[in-house]
């Protein structure tokens, strides 16, 4: 459940209607508490918040809007009781047109860059599983609070995908070189408790209410600090990585096209999709 806001009149909800979504309502919902200036961004692409081209475009637009609104902090979460974000929409990888594949990858790069380089403080409230692109979203935030009994990690190699350099660097920056190297190569999925142990998340919470409380506590630490000094320091720390990604982005896209258009990869993906279905039987 989302944190109750004392005065509902203070709650501004930005809503956008998106085409081609199976979710109820907008793909991304933003609730702004005008008392604190904190925005809760709720990823809302049922059933598992998988990242399609349009969904990522919506996340990017939302962050742009929040930058313009001069918010004091953002909490990124999901309305699901089981999944924070299931990563890239695997259907985007099934025999895609090259043009769409390039656009999907470009949007993933931009989603990462936008969230990684926000001027305001960000917390991922990971209230469910966060494989691959779900872990990526969490890693872009400054602080991660994870509910117990879920899993998180960069499991791309398990699917036959290479982890792009900019994502490897983000992981390395968070958990250190050795842990990142082993985790990326093996495609390890960590339990919430293991993730805390290696520093992939910063705190655990018993449930979403507790996680929300902890998220607000993190954002409150900046209450009396100059937003300029805070964000300038963050961007000095992070901008080079964003610029590096942008410089190499066309090579990155070419590599992904080669990876995904490969017939061995497509055969492996078909088997993977079948295994997702079989798990339910
Ligand atoms: C397009 C360009 C690609 C280029 C790639 C190159 C390099 C990539 C490097 C890094 C970037 C990131 C990559 C990725 O993110 S790849 C995606 C990785 N994600 C996964 O492997 C997650 C798979 N899903 C699960 O493990 C589980 O679904 C879950 C998230 C743990 C949730 O389990 P739960 O039991 O709650 O739900 P279901 O399994 O029943 O799922 C419900 C429903 O959703 C479908 N689904 C699940 N995950 C995805 C997904 N990622 N994309 C699309 N659809 C997904 C699932 O099949 C079910 O559908 P159904 O119709 O059967 O109800």
Residue 43 lies in a domain: yes
Residue 4 lies in a domain: no
Residue 207 lies in a domain: yes
Model confidence over 242-273: pLDDT tens digits? 999 999 999 999 999 999 999 999 999 999 99
**Cα–Cα nearest to 141, from 95, 65, 197, 77:** 77
pTM of the model: 0.93
- Among 51, 52, 86, 133, name the best residue to mutate to test ligand 1's pocket (greatest count of ligand atoms within 8 A of Cβ): 86
Q: Is the distance from CB of 219 to CB of 73 less than 8 angstroms?
A: yes
Q: Which is it for the CA torsion 11, 27, 66, 234, positive or negative?
A: positive
Domain count, the chain: 1
Residue 129 lies in a domain: yes
Does ipTM top 0.85? yes
Query: Which residue, judged by its Cα, is nearest atom 45 of ligand 1?
Result: 48
Residue 19 lies in a domain: no
Residue 177 lies in a domain: yes
C-alpha span between 210 and 43 (Å, rounded): 19
**Structural domain boundaries, residue 149:** 24-279
Residue 11 lies in a domain: no
The enclosing domain of 103 has a CATH number of 3.90.226.10
Angle at 154 between CA 102 and CA 164, to 5 degrees: 40
Residue 182 lies in a domain: yes
Catalytic annotation, residues:
88, 133, 155-156
Model confidence over 29-70: pLDDT tens digits? 999 999 999 999 999 999 999 999 999 999 999 999 999 999
């Amino acid at each position: 459940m989302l944190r109750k806001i004392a005065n509902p009149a203070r709650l501004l909800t930005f809503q956008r209607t998106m085409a081609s979504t199976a979710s109820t309502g907008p793909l991304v919902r933003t609730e702004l508490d005008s008392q604190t200036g904190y925005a809760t961004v709720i990823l809302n692409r049922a059933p598992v918040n998988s990242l399609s081209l349009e969904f990522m475009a919506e996340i990017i637009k939302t962050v742009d809007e929040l930058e313009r609104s001069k918010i004091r902090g953002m909490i990124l979460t999901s309305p699901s009781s089981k999944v924070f974000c299931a990563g890239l929409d695997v259907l985007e990888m099934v025999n895609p047109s090259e043009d769409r594949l390039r656009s999907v990858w470009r949007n993933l790069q931009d989603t990462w860059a936008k969230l990684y380089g926000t001027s305001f403080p960000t917390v991922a409230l990971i209230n469910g599983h966060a494989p691959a692109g779900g872990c990526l979203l969490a890693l872009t935030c400054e602080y991660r609070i994870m509910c117990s009994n879920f899993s998180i990690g960069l499991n791309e190699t398990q699917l036959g995908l290479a982890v792009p350099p900019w994502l490897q660097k983000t992981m390395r920056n968070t958990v250190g070189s050795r842990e990142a190297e082993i985790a990326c190569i093996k495609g390890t999925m960590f339990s919430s408790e293991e993730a805390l142990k290696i520093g992939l998340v910063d705190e655990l919470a018993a449930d979403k209410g507790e996680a929300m409380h902890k998220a607000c506590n993190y954002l409150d630490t900046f209450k009396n600090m100059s937003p300029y000094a805070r964000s300038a320091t963050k961007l000095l720390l992070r901008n080079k990585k964003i610029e590096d990604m942008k410089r190499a982005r066309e090579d990155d896209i070419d590599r992904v096209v080669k990876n995904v258009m490969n017939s061995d990869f497509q055969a492996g993906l078909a088997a993977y999709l079948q295994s997702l279905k079989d798990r339910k039987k």
